[in-house]
Each structure stands twice: as structure tokens, then as C-alpha cells.
Structure 1
Amino acid sequence: MSFPDLIPQFEPWISEIRGRLIPNQPLSEVTWFRVGGPAQLFFQPADEADLALFLKHLPAEIRVTTIGLGSNLLIRDGGLDGVVIRLSARGFGGVEVLEGHRLRVGTALPDVKVATAAAEAGIDGLTFYRGIPGGIGGALYMNAGCYGTETRDRMVELRAVTRDGEIVTLSNADMAYRYRKSNGPRGAVFTSAVFQGFEGDRDDILARMREITEKRESSQPTKAKTGGSTFKNPEGHSSWKLIDAAGCRGLTVGGAQMSELHANFLLNLGVADAYDIETLGETVRSRVRDTQGISLNWEIRRMGHFLPGREVREFLDGDVFTGAV
């Protein structure tokens, strides 16, 4: 499917925008699952000022969706209407070492590069980012964490552009972080962040990062088309153990499968569409609920429109999803 081209209705101000504007860009090309329909208008701003100018002029009724590296994202097969913003490494991928064992990074930077930059500068406390796929923008949004440390433990402040084009600075408290969730200004696009670490030994930090890499590669399907951890851990439980106990390790729907290596990883075996992936996820949720009385919550962000006749219902028997959850 395709959407009407938005660009003509944005004249004449759209000519001032320096970034890339692509109508009906297939989002399957920019997500790790490699599925999903098109973005009505795909925008990669040149820099923060370009982003602010675009959002300032963009009519308020136009939907705006921001995506990062697409590592923890499922775009449905009908795609996304409105504008989809994806920050580029060129404009938003910088790293600056600050005094006091701090690091300022652009939000398009992959998590692993943040960990590496900190290690090279002798800054400890950010090694956990070596174990998280994706980019810093997504980590800030969902309070990503692993191995006992979360983003909220290290983030000092971040810069963002609001929906009306204002550039603002937000504190850790402004983000109201919780487990795998934040509550910052609705519609704001994060552009950079400052992280607080502490003094460490470069070689020791790099050695611990190698251990994290080895652990991930031995226990997770890191080279597969996947969105990482599929479901959040319920309080007092591990999702993978619940999925395993429900008999869902290796379960397949169409071209999608729950990993044999790690039961909480959902895979595209190569021929899946978003319908297969979301249906498999809801099948797993249903079986865990029915066998163990626990409702798993998605950690993967799902958004976009279903294709007609290819809707997915919650637990396969509830209401049809109509947007991001």
C-alpha cells in the first residue's frame, strides 16, 4: 500500500529544510525485524536546528513518529501515516568527553559505541550498554538496562526538540523513569544526552565489555532478525522461564519463531511479515496466561496500521490493537 504524498501541502516552507524527505519509504529497510509497511513521509533532519525548523512549521494535525535504529520496534504491515523521523549518525551521532567523568552523546549513536567511547576515556559505569542492542535515543525513551544498571542510573540531562519546534533541556527527574518506561514531554524528539560515569581503568573496562559480548553471543540469537527481548519481566519472574514452561520455546507462526536459544527472543526466519510476528507474540501471551495465570507485557514497541483482514487481537480474543502500545 502507499499513502498520498504530503510534501506538496508543505510548500513553500519545506524548501528551507536541509534534511532528507522521502515519501512512502519502506520501513522494513530500517528495522531489525525487516518487516513493516511504508512511512507516509520519512524525514532525516540535517541537524538539531533543521529538526526544530521542520517541527515548528509542521501542521499540528500531522502525526509524528520518531524511530531510532529500529532494534526494538515492530512496524505493522500497513505502515505509518504522517511523518516518521529517524535521526542520522552524521547529524546526531557525536561523542564528547566532559569533565567529571561525563560523556555527551548524540541520540543516533549505537549503545555499544557509547560503552566503547566511555571505556576509551577511562570512564566506568556505562559498560552495560555493551549488552543492549539499538541506539541511545531508544535507550533514553524506554529506560533500557541490563546486568543491574538502567539508563536512569546514568543519565544526567538530555536535549530534545518539542512537537512545536522548541529546543529544551530535560533533567533525569523530568523523564519520570520507571522500569522500561519514561514519561517525558509527549512528542519530543531526543537529540543528545549527558551521562555520568566514574573513574575507571581502560583495560579493565574493555575486558568486562568483552565478557558481556561473549555472554550475549552464547545465550542470545544476536545475528538473527530479531527485536531483542520480546516481553518485559513480570515482577518476581523471568519472561523466558514463563515462556519455556508454557511450551513456547521454538514455537512458530508463519515465518516467525520464538528462539530455541533464548525463549524470550522472537525471530523473523526470513519470510515473516509483521502479522506473523505479532500473532506469534500474542499466541505466547495467551499460553502463558492460560497455563500460569500471568499476563506478559510487550517490551517491543508495536505501531502502525494493520492490513485489512490481517488484524491481531490481544491474547487472540480481545480488542483489535489500533496503534502503538
Structure 2
Amino acid sequence: MFPSQSFINISFLQPQYFLMAGIEVIHGWISILVSSMYTVALTGNSPILLAVKRTHSLHHPMYYFLCMLALSDVGLTLSTMPSTLAVLWFDYHFIGFHTCLIQLFFLHSYSVVESSVLLAMSFDRFVAISNPLRYASVLTNNVIIRIGAVIAARATLSLFPVPFLLKRLNYCPGKVLLSHSFCFHADVMKLACADITVNILYGLYVVLSTVGVDSLLIVMSYALILQTVMGLASPRERVRALNTCVTHILAVLVFYIPVIGVSMIHRFGKHLPHIVHALVAYVYLVVPPVLNPIIYSVKSKPIRGAMFRVLRRKYQT
């Protein structure tokens, strides 16, 4: 049943609402699973932020970048959680046109932020391993603040044109069904009855200039790290140096594998069932924010200890 307002704005040929898709076949258990993962993502990343803030020994570049990663995970979670839970729990499938544009802007922006933070963390590991004596002088607090500002500006400027490029399009009356329970740029532009070449080219440019460039630079940084590690005389020192990179490598895999999966599904998986598209999208959105705090709390003893102290103090109060 459609809302009482006129569904199509005839003068602009833009829908007032889009209709978000659900997963009717396995709706019950997927609702519980996704809701639990959203909860874990929020409750897992928040203690990391509190732990670093309240623990003076963690006031180092590596942990500042970890805070940036946790913030991007929280932002990515909050950008899609309202619409997803509305579909899964309340069977409410409508999302306003402008609300949809705002949501996809933040969704893609936080994805770019997370990719940029992972690149910054690879630079942090490279400096720490290749030139440990200059580590503190290279990655000062001012440098980290500037890196954070550049990351935020890069994501904002890259994604700022996207809502306007979608808003300029004419849309087909009645063609309002999205493929997911959230707004995705590639999904929304396919609903337009207009030439979307500019949208396709700009979307490709954003992907290549952000996630594409970041992934390439991360691979290059690890090639240099391996070159440095192989130059170490002691096998014990090599293992110790590589062990400091394990958590970051896992975080990179957790982020980039779902990103590649979503991109491949959208471009080459049109014949696949809707449930496959939906599940891959949920993995892309929810799994990295869930696994990142688990990875860092398990593999990093200082983070684990600080998180336990924060949680114990909160429980006692």
C-alpha cells in the first residue's frame, strides 16, 4: 500500500519514494542474524574508542588509526541500519527519494574512508618496520590529524557530486523497486529512464581513484615491507616484524573481499537469484564492522587489556 501523497512528481519525473526489497524466503532468521551483527558492530567498536581514549599507553599512531577505522565502521553501520531494520523487522519498504540520496552518500563515503584508513595503517606499518627509530618523528600528532582531515575531505569531495548526478535524472513512473534494503548508487541509477553514461563513468572514476588506488598502494607498501623484513638478519626478528602486520592484513582482507564481491555481483551476476545479491550486500555492509574489533581485540594484547579494563569499570559503575 503506497503512502497517501502523490507517488510521482510529474514535473521532475522523480519518485517521492523508492521501494526497498527484503528477503522473504529466509526473512525470520536473517532478521535475527543481521540485527545481532549490527549490535555486535556497535558494541564492539565503541569499547575500542573508549579504550584508546582512556589508556595513555595507547596514545600512539597505530592506535589512533585504529580509532579512525572503528569510527568508519560505526558510521558504515549507522548509515544503513535504520532502513535495513525497518524492512526486516517492521516490513516497511519505503524510503524517500532525498533520504535515499543522503543514505547512499554516507554509505559510499564511509566505504572510501575505511579504504583510506587501511591505506594509512599500511603506511604506519611500513614506517614502523623500515625505520623504527624515526617512527615517532615521522608520524607525529599533527601529521595524524592532517591525514585524518585529508581522508575525510577525500571521501566528501569524491562522493559529493553523486546525489546531484542522480537527482538530475528522469525516472520511469512505477519503476521504483531497489534490489536491497538500503540505497546503493549502482542500484538507484538503473531505475532512471535517461542516459546514465555520466553516472557510470563518474562511479567508475570514484571506485578506481579511491578503493582501486588504495588497494594498489597497500600491495606496494607490503612489497616494501617484505623487502625490509627479508633484509633482517635474525629469523626471530623477521617473524616478530611480520606479526605486527597480521591484524592489518586481516582487516584489509575483511574489507576488500566483500567490496570485490559486491562489485562483481552487480556487474556480472544479473542472472543470479535476488537472495544472492542481498546476502553479498549484507556481508559487505555488516561483516567488516563486526570482524574488525574481534580481530584487533584477539590479536592485540594492549587493546584487549584496555577494553577489558573499560568494560570492567563500566560494569562496576
Question: TM-score higher than 0.5 here?
Answer: no
Structure richer in helix, relative to its length: 2
Question: Structure 1-normalised TM-score?
Answer: 0.27
Structure richer in strand, relative to its length: 1
Larger Rg: 2
